[in-house]
Amino acid sequence: MRSDEVHLLRARVAGLLRAGATPGEVARQLACSRSTVYKVVRLLGSAASALADGRHANPGRPRLYADEVWARVLALRRWCPELGPRLLRQMLLAEAMEAGRVAGPLPAPATIADALRRTGLAHTRRAARATADWRERPARPGTLTLDTWGPWRLQGASLYLITVQDRFTRLALAYPLPCLPDEPADGLLRLLAEGWPRALALARRSLLPPGKPLDAVYAHELAGLAPVGGRLPPCARAVLAAGGRLTFTPPGRPWPNGRLDRFHGAMEREFWQREQPYGLSQALEGLRAWLDYYNRIRPHAALAYRAPADRAPWFRNLASLSETGPAGEVYPSPIVGDIIAVRLVSAEGAVALWQDEILHLAPALAGQYVRVRFRVTEGPGDGTVVASGKEGDVVVARFEHRLGA
């Protein structure tokens, strides 16, 4: 039933109730359930409602929700434009729980999205073109996605995973990072920073054809992977040394890594939750066996119900999840390549990068996604900011940087 039909039915129910009919009589006369009738009864008894429950289009703000709720939604959106309707609703609920009070009626994500469109705070459709590079389907192996998963609590240890997937073949692997349950934050960051280049080296040997250079690597801006203080971490240097382009996807936007997120979901359902491994050795051996099943046997709807290995005749079973080959790789100097950060322009024209670094653009670009490209060379490099419009890509700013110099 469409939302306008629901609203019309509730109006007819309200009219019969006001005329003195009982809920049972209304349900029989209109051929609807009693729960629908009693829902209208509750709405009629609420002073804040006039049968507007926020699920149909209203000319103004839905009257079921307090003005304070909408003021907070708009304030959060202006403070952080990356927050989508679902995250905004979750933040409202978290704020109520943190304050020790029961959250009142909260608007649905679709209702929040409609309010953002009416107030002019919705993302423009032109912004989607700035992110079209990761929506394209690669025509060959060599485009990898990196992410993390965990922790899984084991006997005397916690297990984190660095996950890698090739976007063309859908081959995937997980590099383990075991640590103590009470490991301090700096220790976890150190393990992560050391694990990135090892996981990338394992992926290049296991997921790509022999001798195949990298085309691109996509990742969230995670610790040990993003630049720090103008310096490139080892994993970023490894990507550029292998001939690839490193692209950091925007915060708060999970769909650029959608394929890898689906892999995470399958891994959780089919291995971790089903097997419930207790010890570290049991977990690693079971995970290795499940990864071989995922890559060689498990059918994928996106691959016409074939296994990823059917696209990769070079793929071999993983003998070990920690096989990284010779340690201490020496990267050539100078390293030349591109690092791209996809970011949303704030209302003031600011573009937030890593480590609180900010680029200032024209406020006319507010609400659009832009690609900030750093050309890494031996000395100072040039950078550009590219926005997309109806006529195609447009360079809206140029700058100089010393990233990786």
| 124-405 classified as CATH 3.40.50.150 | no
Q: Which residue has the higher pLDDT, 380 or 56?
A: 380
pLDDT in tens, 356-376: 788 888 888 887 888 999 988
pLDDT in tens, 129-184: 444 455 567 888 999 999 999 888 888 888 999 999 999 999 999 999 888 777 77
Residue 144: the pLDDT is 93
- pLDDT score of 291 more than 90: yes
CATH 1.10.10 residue ranges in the chain? 1-51
In SS3 terms, the chain reads as CCHHHHHHHHHHHHHHHHCCCCHHHHHHHHCCCHHHHHHHHHHHCCCCCCCCCCCCCCCCCCCCCCHHHHHHHHHHHHHCCCCCHHHHHHHHHHHHHHCCCCCCCCCCHHHHHHHHHHCCCCCCHHHHHHHHHHHCCCCCCCEEEEEEEEEEEECCEEEEEEEEEECCCCCEEEEEEEECCCCCHHHHHHHHHHHHHHHHHHHHHHCCCCCCCCCEEEECCCCCCCCECCECCHHHHHHHHCCCEEEECCCCCCHHHHHHHHHHHHHHHHHHHHHCCCCHHHHHHHHHHHHHHHHHCCCEHHHCCECHHHHCCCCCCCCCCCCCCCCCCCCCCCCCEEEEEEEECCCCCEEECHHHCEEECCHHHCCCEEEEEEEECCCCEEEEEEEEECCEEEEEEEEEECCCC
Other CB atoms within a 10 A radius of the CB of residue 219 amount to 24
CATH 3.30.420.10 residue ranges in the chain? 124-405
pLDDT in tens, 99-130: 776 666 778 888 888 888 777 777 654 444 44
pLDDT in tens, 307-357: 999 988 888 777 667 655 444 455 556 678 888 988 888 878 888 887 778
Residue 90 near residue 80, CB atoms below 8 Å? no
Residue 51: the pLDDT is 46
Residue 308: the pLDDT is 92
| Domain covering 1-51, topology | Arc Repressor Mutant, subunit A (1.10.10)
Q: How confident is the model at residue 290 (pLDDT cuts 50, 70, 90)?
A: very high
pTM for the structure as a whole: 0.66
pLDDT in tens, 244-288: 889 888 776 666 777 888 899 999 999 998 889 888 889 999 999
Q: What is the mean pLDDT of the chain?
A: 79
Residue 20: the pLDDT is 79
